[in-house]
Amino acid sequence: MRHRPRGENIISFDSVGLRYGLGPEVLRDVTFALPSGSFHFLTGPSGAGKSSLLRLMYLGLRPTRGRVVLFDRDIATTRRYELPALRRRIGVVFQEFRLLDHLTALDNVALPLRVRGVREAEIRKHVPELLSWVGLADQLGAKPSTLSGGQKQRVAIARAVIGRPDLLLADEPTGNVDDRIAMRLMHLFEELNKLGTTIVVATHNESLVSRFSHNPRLHLEHGQVTRVN
Ligand SMILES: Nc1ncnc2c1ncn2[C@@H]1O[C@H](COP(=O)(O)OP(=O)(O)OP(=O)(O)O)[C@@H](O)[C@H]1O
Ligand SMILES: [Mg+2]
């Protein structure tokens, strides 16, 4: 992880619009900036565009208009071959998990480390530690198809945080777990944030947001940011 001074923006959007194919604009005139080291909630009703906004942030899509600057790079002028290196600095918890079905929980979480060439001895130490922390000590060798929704969600979270990314984007990361585990996961995110990771957690869980009311919020309604604080 590259350390950056707090206060600098890690990502900024300027008048960004997004449409899928020939459909209507699902994001319109979205403008905001996230300072490095911040921890925001991304809220808004179902269909407001939260997952779409996160997709733009992890470069899963390009905007149909406007400007996205990520890690000081204007995405419009960044070459395609440069994108994977930028993406590797981002941890993503997908709303639908996207685990690899043929790999065990341990191997799913180890993947970002193996891609980076981390030594196997380190992997064998850190991955089980993290999986135990999220309550999956007994499931290291389990394939995703044998796990519950909440267990898969925790594997997906462990995979996103294991490499201590510069930016963590989590889409409804507590949507499938009970309150006690949700709090534990939020504390995991807080610890990562203290180590310097900038975090965005998309959620409709108002009780979670109110328990962490000190965290600023980016609120979307009908594809527009109506509040940033
Ligand atoms: N791949 C896609 N192709 C076409 N339209 C899409 C696609 N993904 C999302 N949309 C549309 O974009 C709008 C925003 O969807 P998005 O999934 O970003 O909302 P959301 O805020 O994440 O909702 P939820 O809270 O239910 O997850 C919706 O109208 C949706 O139908
Ligand atoms: Mg969504």
Q: Could you read off the pLDDT of 155-209 as tens digits, one per residue?
A: 999 999 999 999 999 999 998 889 999 999 999 999 999 999 999 999 988 889 9
Residue closest to 150 by CA, chosen among 138, 134, 161: 134
Q: pTM of this prediction?
A: 0.94
Quick check: 11 and 25 in contact, CB under 8 A?
no
Closest ligand to residue 43's CA:
1
Q: Using pLDDT thresholds of 50, 70 and 90, give the confidence band for residue 228.
A: low
Identify the residue whose C-alpha is closest to ligand 1 atom 1.
Answer: 20
Q: Which atom of ligand 1 is nearest to the CA of 223?
A: 14
Comma-separated ranges of CATH 3.40.50.300 domains in the chain: 10-89+165-229
The CATH fold assigned to 10-89+165-229 is Rossmann fold (3.40.50)
Q: What is the spatial order of strands in the sheet that 217-221 belongs to? A: 90-93, 167-171, 198-202, 39-43, 217-221, 224-228
| Pocket lining for ligand 1, CB < 6 angstroms | 20, 23, 26, 44, 46-52, 95, 204
Q: Residues 83-125: pLDDT tens digits? A: 999 999 999 999 999 999 999 999 999 999 999 999 999 999 9
